[in-house]
Amino acid sequence: MTIPFEPTIFGTKINVHLILEYLAFFTAFRYYISLRKLTTDQISNRNRLSIILGAIVGAFLGSRLIGFLENPMITFNSNNIVQLLNTKSIMGGLFGGLIGVETSKKIINERHSSGDLFTFPIIVGIIIGRIGCFLSGIKEFTYGNETGFITGIDLGDGLSRHPTSLYEIIFLILLFILLKKITFYTNKESGLLFKIFMISYFGFRFMIEFLKPNIFYVLGLSSIQLLCVTCWIYYIPTFKKIMKNAY
């Protein structure tokens, strides 16, 4: 198999990344539905629907905004504008979805935490999506810098590069296993599981961005890394609580 992986079926070139992206959304949603059936949800169906809608709107706006900020100096013409509108960032989607959920909960006056049920479906969805990113090689802006390290892979341009999508998949699998093991403890505080996921994932992404050919702006950080810092600031109360309980 060569990368980018673009199989041709009946004379038509298949966009594997797009197929896996849709599969990621479908699988994550079905996984969420099955988890909710097995869980006593403290949030009513009506409020849960409002929260999901808030998450969708927030994720859509956030993913596009951060996707644009990754290419802020792009020349504006018809082709580039269409490309920008199709640019998405999972990091922007996650943080935008978080803001959308919190905004929805304030509007409907819902006080219960809602993130725990989304945690494992989100992880599974990202893993499937990252498989598509890896198979797209250098056609998807998730590849790494050149490297002479043993993990280097030719992603389609003849250069040995960090397969950052594979690094992320491995990290997410390990995070999934870890979160499953500590679920007994996180269940004592509603919402803690999701917060630990966000802190962990954004921490990983902050570090992995140094292995990518990013444009580094303020303080030598990329737009994704600045978003990671914003997320950490948002979760400072959770950081303090975790450290207090650890001691």
User: What does the pLDDT average to over 152-160?
Assistant: 88
User: What separation in angstroms does the CA of 39 have from each of 32, 34, 154?
Assistant: 10, 9, 44
DSSP-H helix ranges across the chain: 16-37, 45-69, 78-85, 90-108, 116-136, 164-181, 183-186, 192-208, 223-234, 236-246
- Looking at every residue in the chain, the average pLDDT score rounds to 83
Residue 74's pLDDT band (cuts 50, 70, 90):
low
Q: What percent of the chain has pLDDT over 90?
A: 32
174 or 104: which carries more pLDDT confidence?
174
Token pair 């802190």: residue: 199
Domain boundaries, the chain: 8-42+112-246
Q: What is the pLDDT of residue 131?
A: 93
Amino acid making up residue 40 = T
Q: What is the pLDDT of residue 76?
A: 53
Output the pTM of the full model. 0.87
Q: Decide if pLDDT at 166 tops 80.
A: yes
User: What does the pLDDT average to over 146-174?
Assistant: 92
Residue 6: Cβ-neighbour burial (10 angstroms; 0-12, 13-18, 19+):
middle
- Per-residue pLDDT tens digits for 6-61: 777 777 778 888 899 999 999 999 998 898 888 776 777 788 888 888 888 888 88
Q: Decide if pLDDT at 71 tops 70.
A: no
For residue 213, cis peptide bond before it (omega within 30 degrees of 0): no
Residue 77's pLDDT band (cuts 50, 70, 90):
low
Per DSSP, what are the bridge partners of residue 8?
A: 13
Residue 169's pLDDT band (cuts 50, 70, 90):
very high
Q: Decide if pLDDT at 115 tops 60.
A: yes
Q: What is the pLDDT of residue 246?
A: 60
- Per-residue pLDDT tens digits for 209-226: 999 887 766 778 888 899
